[in-house]
Amino acid sequence: MKCDGRIVKEDISIDVIIKDIINNTYLEGCGAISIFIGYVKGLIGSAKVYELAYEAYEPYASKKLKEIACETANKYSIPYILILHKTGSLKPGEISIYIISAAVTRHDAIEAVKEALERVKKEVPIFKLEKRNDGEYWIVGDGKRVPRSKLLSDY
């Protein structure tokens, strides 16, 4: 079994990851690869997004990503799962997260990716500042936005 998760700063080649999965002999019984690719949205409602700045509390964030990957792999008895989350300033259309799983069945591959994604959103200390034409917003939880100026004025 291979389970891994980590914060990355560089771009990741999905082709390299797929070739690595397919060429591993311990994955010969697998019949499915499920891939989730998250990227920066260009519009939120009617607001234009210019940038999404990601910061992570390291090394804890990478440790938590790996923990989620391994627990998910064990739960679904899948031999491979990888979670990569980028940090830094990303523009609309740039990839922020990959979650890739390989499993014997498509059901397990897809369910593992779905569960891992929900856990990443709730458990990993990654902070997102959305810079838009109508201001800057911290993204808190699953889609809730708090104006940066409000947080600054509270102190």
CATH code, domain carrying 110: 3.90.1170.40
Residue 114 has pLDDT above 80, yes or no: yes
E strands within the chain? 2-8, 32-39, 43-44, 47-56, 80-86, 88-90, 95-103, 126-132, 135-140, 144-147
Mean pLDDT on 96-111:
96
Q: How high does pLDDT run on average in the chain?
A: 92
Contact 80, 21 (CB under 8 A): yes
Mean pLDDT on 60-76:
98
Residue 150 pLDDT class (50, 70, 90 cuts): low
pLDDT, residue 1, reads: 87
pLDDT, residue 33, reads: 93
Residue 96 has pLDDT above 70, yes or no: yes
Task: Say which amino acid occupies 137.
Answer: Y
pLDDT, tens digit (0-9, with 9 covering 90-100), for 38-67: 999 999 999 999 999 999 999 999 999 999
Residue 153 has pLDDT above 60, yes or no: no
Q: C-alpha 16: how far from its chain's center? A: 18
Give the residue numbers spanning the domain of 59. Answer: 2-153
Per the structure, the count of domains in the chain is 1
